[in-house]
């Protein structure tokens, strides 16, 4: 019997894979996941996400391939949110998008901070 | 000429300016009362305070709820089957509201539809547990030893976490003085509010008091459901019921439908029909189809209630400075009442914060959310009427059963009947979508094929075991 929602992922198990087409986003329910991106010089760590964080939202708003791979760190649990369900609800209640925009805005802020940090190092 | 039903930006601004002049907007120091601390009231308070914070508006919210959801049995319960639909679980997650493991009694991944002609299990197409079986209060009487938390209590905690105050008082009166609503408590004390949000449901007396206001508001039409809890062992519940909600479409007169929901050490039986009485309940429980999937070690009913269900609003659920949300106003027919509580609660909150608390503001910005639900319910009534016709005729029940079973056996097929049954009973999709799917030419074609297969000699075109 399980009283938990979503799917349980084992340590190291891939939840989404870079380059694949996606039709949903995920919300971490428990545990931790790691976001990594394949680059020319190997794999680059982008972020760790914990319970309450979401990922894969770019596939909901753009018809593009997944831009990163997300793997479970230890055992984790994540819930899928279907593109159709989400976009339909945003159509009825545009304020729902504000919640997603806030997180995406935080990510842009973090990226800007990281970019300026790299520039400082190279100057 | 307006091309869209949505109000234009210019209209919104002009209505906001009119409301501002008339004092119908919330300003720093405004006081808002929420009568009823169930999901609708808590969603409203949570979103109201969240939106107020986003525009630096300092308001005070009092939630009047005499019950404590930490108590077992009817004293801490909101009388409901306690299933959160697949779409609602996802929307809540997108809103940042993730249901903790202690609140979810069981994750549901399939529905089993039982008829006299056979039973068919319909799996979630998501391949994961996205339906939550839970308790609105702290579980049934005699459930004090279980380590669970109340869903309603969890949502209330989110509202208080943003600053809402829970007042453990019953409101016994409502008055209208100098253009403001006043709430009266049993000790005779009266408090003025800038907005009163009614989220007391249809099982409370408060909603009847609104008929005495200068602009009267009336309670919705209702019918009765029956909810009963049986204690069993977790092992037996898993063996008999699994992680599935069991729905019954039986030919028992006056019974619309019934369900058995597994939850921890209890199973919840929910029945909806006309004039539900003990005779009908007994007839259902003694039906061989029901007995075959009822835990063998279940104790007699430990906690039961006959709550009223909202069948449709009798008046527009708002007036100046008063708005009715959730079951008190407009909700979904039979299913997904908590989803409707989220929609109407959030629509009322955004109207109050961004557009004002006048009747005109609610008509323009809150009512469209209610109207969408009402229009969908009209289609829902047709769909439940059609289900009743299917229930009445054995050959139609056979077709329904054969179609669903075949679709589950051959997952590559487009699951017309499975989707219809899944969406009808999980409450996950609007009735309009279900109706559109039922009108798909493939659906009719499939039905005709199954009807023809049923006419073939025994054995040809049949597979598996059917009921008697």
The beta strands (E) that lie in B220-263 are given as 221-231, 244-248, 255-263
Which residue in the set B101, B105, B350 is minimally distant from A95, CB to CB? B350
CA B198/CA B33 separation, integer angstroms: 8
pLDDT given at position B241: 93
pLDDT in tens, chain B (468 residues): 344 445 555 565 555 666 766 789 999 999 999 999 999 999 999 999 999 999 999 999 999 999 887 777 676 676 677 889 999 999 999 999 999 888 888 889 899 999 999 999 998 877 788 888 887 876 676 665 566 788 999 999 999 999 999 999 999 999 999 999 999 999 999 999 999 999 999 988 899 999 988 889 999 999 889 999 898 998 999 999 998 999 999 989 889 889 999 988 889 999 998 888 888 989 999 999 999 999 998 887 778 888 888 988 888 999 999 999 999 999 999 889 999 999 999 999 999 999 999 999 999 999 999 999 999 999 999 999 998 898 889 989 999 999 999 888 887 677 888 988 898 888 889 999 999 989 988 888 888 888 888 776 554 444 444 444
Half-sphere exposure (Cβ direction) of B363: Cα atoms closer than 13 Å: 10
Tally Cβ neighbours within 10 Å of residue B253. 9
Query: Which 8-state DSSP code applies to residue A65?
Result: B
Interface of B with A (CB under 8 A): 51, 54, 87, 89-91, 93-96, 98-99, 101, 104-107, 126-130, 132, 234, 237-238, 243, 264, 343, 346-347, 350, 369, 372
Enter the pTM of the model.
0.89
Confirm if B264 and B412 have CB atoms less than 8 A apart.
no
Does A27 touch chain B if contact means CB atoms closer than 8 Å? yes
Q: What is the dihedral of CA B454, B455, B457, B460, to 10 degrees?
A: -40
Task: Measure A5 CA to nearest chain B CA, in Å.
Answer: 5
Q: What is the pLDDT of residues A13-48, one digit of tens each?
A: 999 999 999 999 999 999 999 999 998 888 889 999
Q: Which residues pair with A8 in a beta bridge?
A: A77
The ipTM, to two decimals, is 0.91
Which of B13, B57, B55, B7 lies closest to B32, judged by CA? B57
Region class of B461: left (phi > 0), else alpha (psi between -120 and 50), else beta? left
Neighboring chain A residues of B87 at a CB cutoff of 8 Å: 85, 89
Mutual angle of helices B39-54 and B151-161, in 10-degree steps: 20
CA B393/CA B373 separation, integer angstroms: 30
Region class of B395: left (phi > 0), else alpha (psi between -120 and 50), else beta? alpha
């Amino acid at each position: 019997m399980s009283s938990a929602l979503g799917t349980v992922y084992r340590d190291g198990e891939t939840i989404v894979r870079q380059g694949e087409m996606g039709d949903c986003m995920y919300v971490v329910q428990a545990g931790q996941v790691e976001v990594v991106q394949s680059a020319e010089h190997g794999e680059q760590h982008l972020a760790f996400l914990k319970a309450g964080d979401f990922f894969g939202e770019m596939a909901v708003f753009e018809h593009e391939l997944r831009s990163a791979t997300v793997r479970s760190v230890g055992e984790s649990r994540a819930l899928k949110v279907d593109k159709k369900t989400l976009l339909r609800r945003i159509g009825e209640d545009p304020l729902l998008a504000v919640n997603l925009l806030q997180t995406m805005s935080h990510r842009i802020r973090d990226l800007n901070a990281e970019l300026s940090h790299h520039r400082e190092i190279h100057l | 000429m307006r091309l869209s039903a949505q109000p234009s930006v210019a209209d919104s601004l002009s209505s906001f300016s009119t409301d501002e002049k008339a004092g119908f907007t919330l300003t720093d120091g405004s006081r808002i009362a929420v009568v009823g601390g169930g999901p609708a009231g808590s969603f409203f308070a949570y979103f109201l305070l969240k939106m107020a914070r986003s525009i630096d508006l300092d308001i005070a919210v009092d939630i009047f709820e005499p019950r404590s959801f930490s108590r077992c049995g009817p004293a801490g319960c909101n009388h409901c089957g306690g299933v959160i639909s697949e779409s609602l679980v996802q929307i809540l997650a997108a809103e940042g509201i993730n249901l903790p493991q202690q609140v979810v009694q069981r994750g549901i991944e399939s529905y089993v539809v039982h008829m006299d002609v056979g039973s068919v299990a319909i799996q979630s197409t998501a391949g994961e547990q996205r339906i939550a079986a839970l308790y609105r209060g702290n579980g049934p009487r005699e459930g004090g030893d279980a380590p669970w938390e109340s869903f309603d209590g969890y949502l209330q905690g989110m509202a208080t976490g943003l600053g809402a105050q829970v007042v453990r008082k019953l409101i016994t009166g409502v008055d209208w003085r100098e253009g403001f609503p006043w709430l009266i408590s049993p000790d005779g004390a009266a408090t003025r509010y800038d907005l009163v949000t009614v989220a007391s449901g249809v099982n409370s007396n408060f909603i009847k008091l609104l008929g005495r206001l200068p602009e009267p508001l009336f309670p919705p039409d209702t019918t009765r459901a029956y909810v009963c809890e049986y204690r069993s062992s977790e092992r037996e519940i898993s063996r008999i019921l699994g992680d599935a909600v069991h729905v019954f479409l039986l030919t028992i007169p006056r019974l619309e439908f019934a369900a058995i929901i597994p939850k921890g050490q209890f199973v919840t039986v929910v029945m909806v029909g006309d004039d539900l009485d003990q005779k009908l309940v007994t007839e259902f429980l003694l039906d061989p189809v029901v007995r075959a999937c009822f835990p063998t070690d279940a104790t007699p009913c430990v906690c039961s209630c006959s709550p009223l269900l909202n069948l449709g609003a009798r008046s527009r659920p708002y007036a100046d400075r008063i708005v009715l949300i959730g079951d008190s106003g407009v909700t979904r027919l039979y299913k997904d009442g908590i989803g409707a509580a989220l929609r109407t609660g959030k629509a009322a909150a955004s109207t109050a914060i961004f557009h004002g608390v006048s009747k005109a503001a609610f008509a323009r910005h809150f009512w469209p959310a209610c109207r969408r639900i009402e229009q969908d319910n009209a289609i829902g009534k047709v769909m439940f009427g059609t289900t009743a016709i299917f229930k009445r005729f054995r050959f139609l029940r056979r077709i329904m059963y054969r179609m669903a079973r075949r679709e589950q056996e051959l997952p590559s097929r487009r699951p017309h009947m499975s989707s219809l049954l899944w969406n009808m009973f999980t409450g996950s999709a609007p009735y309009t979508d279900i109706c559109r799917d039922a009108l798909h030419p493939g659906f009719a074609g499939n039905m005709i094929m199954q009807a023809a297969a049923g006419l073939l000699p025994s054995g040809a075109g049949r597979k598996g075991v059917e009921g008697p």
